Structure formats: structure tokens, C-alpha cells
Structure 1
Amino acid sequence: MSTPHVVVVMGVAGTGKTTIGPLLAARLCVPYAEGDDFHPPANIAKMSAGVPLDDDDRWPWLDAIGTWAHERAGLGGVVSCSALKRSYRDRLRAEAPGVVFVHLSGDRALIEDRMAHRQGHFMPTALLDSQFATLQPLQADEAGVAVDVAGSPEEITQRAVEALSGIPESAA
């Protein structure tokens, strides 16, 4: 990528946003922000209890991520954020128009297996169905790429870097 963009690493829980995000940021030589850190404590408590967030829970969270992305405009950065619905991505773009999305996607069984084996995360596998039900993949008019999550973190990151290099400057 010829100029620094803010990249939102998106996808359902368990796709590896927290793993791939820092690796991608390191490859792009830009800072990384963990999207979960933008959640207010009430959201984390709700998800920890196995209760899906509703849009009213998500708006302040998305606004906080959008503010971070806006502040990084022209400087570059990578932030993880599920960004499952088009309306959520539109909200992020309203705050930071130049964001580019990397949609981590893959086989549901693989994602569920990875979720079941990760340590220290508040999102239970019971919420995976609601994540997939909510997911609206990137549309043709959205600046971004889909990247398969099969393989090692390094392989996934390399696919993301290659895919991002094909996004025209005018698309972001």
C-alpha cells in the first residue's frame, strides 16, 4: 500500500482478529488497536454472560473505534472490530471515510474449534450462531478484501497484505 490507511480487521468472533491485527500492523509498520478495548464494561459483562449485544450497545463502541480511526487518518493504523453489519461499517466510515476492511472469513467448524481452545477471552462459543446470523459480508462498493482464515497466522497475514496491495488508492 503506497500511503498509510486505517485498516479494520473484521469478522465473527474466533476468526483471529486479535491475532492477525497486530501481525498485519507490524507488516504495515503502523500501530494496532484492539477493538475489544473500546467496549464499555457493561458490554463485556453482557457478552461474558452469553448475552448478545444489541445495536444500542454497539453504537458507542463503534463511535469510539471510529474516533480512533479518524485520528489515525493519513498516519495509518490497524484496529480489530467485528463490524458484522453494513450499518456498522457505514458508521465507521462516517467517522473515518478512508478506512479499508479486511474481512477474516472461513469455515464455521474451524472458527468454532479455535474459539473453544482460546484462553482468557470473554466471548463464549454459544454466541457464534448469533455472530453468523448478524454477519453481512463486505459488498462490492465497500473498500476491503475477504481473507480466508485457514492456515497459520503468518499465512493469513501474508494473504491480507497481498490482498490489500490490490486495493486502488481511490477505493479507500
Structure 2
Amino acid sequence: MRLRLLANIALLFVATGCCNAGSDSSQNALPAESAAAPLPSAAAPSAPSAAETPAPAPTAERQIAGAAHILVAWKGAERAPKTVTRSKEEAKKRAQEVHKLVKDGKQTFEELVAKYTDDEISKAANGAIGNFERNAMPPAFADATFAMEVGTISDVVETAQGFHIIKRTR
């Protein structure tokens, strides 16, 4: 009975154009005879009971992390700025040098982002790239980020965009 009542309420909403909020209802209105659709009779088949309805499939828990990074790109890396002229080997060496600077703690991560990152978008946010789901990032980047504790720094991580030094923020 409760399901039949809910179905009738849903029909009433559709018939009265509730889903057209903010639009000109005169263009979307149903003809008057269909707006007052008769309710199903007691003899009409009812929706399956809760016992007959299959349980929803279990959903995997979403994995979300937050990170900031320093990106050292090479000429030809994905989305590398045109100003980057270093080779891949030079980029790797530079990333390793920056990683040592991060680890020695004499400068903050944010100060090093300002000096060394090739990611102009995250540079304005001190290297922050925000929160993301695991599958939203290249596998090497995601694996490194999700393996770390919040506040820790990764080793140098290579992706198609370049070499990253990642700080987990969430």
C-alpha cells in the first residue's frame, strides 16, 4: 500500500510539472485531461514487496586523498610548458636535488614549490592540487600518495608529466 501511494505521488509530481522548476510552465504543462490521471484500482498489480526486491549491490568505499606537489618536467613531457627545455635525465637529477632540499627542512615545501615547480596551475596554490579519488590520477602518483601518511613527503615519483615530489595533505 505504501509503495502504491508513493507511486501515485510521483505520478502527480510528473503530471503537474514539478521537474520544470524555474521554467515557463505553460510550455511544459500536460493537457488538462492527463493532469488528473486516475489512481490505479485496488485490483492493479502492486510493486514487489521488500522481501522480493533484490538487495542493492555493495559499493566500494571511495578512496580520497589530498596532495600538493612539486613537478619537474622535461621537454616533451605531457603538458610541459614550452619554456621547459631540460632533458628527461636533467629533470630527474633536478627532482632528486629538490627532494634533498625538502628533506633537509631548511626551506618549507611551499617555498620550494615557488622556486622549482613547472606546474604553473598548482604553483599559485603552493603546490596544492586538492582532493582526488585514486583513479583520477596516474597510477604511480596515486599509489605514492595513498601509501603515505598525511603530512609526509614522497620519494621522487615519475609520471608522463614529469617527476613529482608529493606531500600528502589529506
TM-score by length of 1: 0.23
- Larger Rg over CA atoms: 2
Structure with greater proportional helix content: 1
| Structure with more contact order per residue of length (Cα contacts < 8 Å, sep ≥ 6) | 1
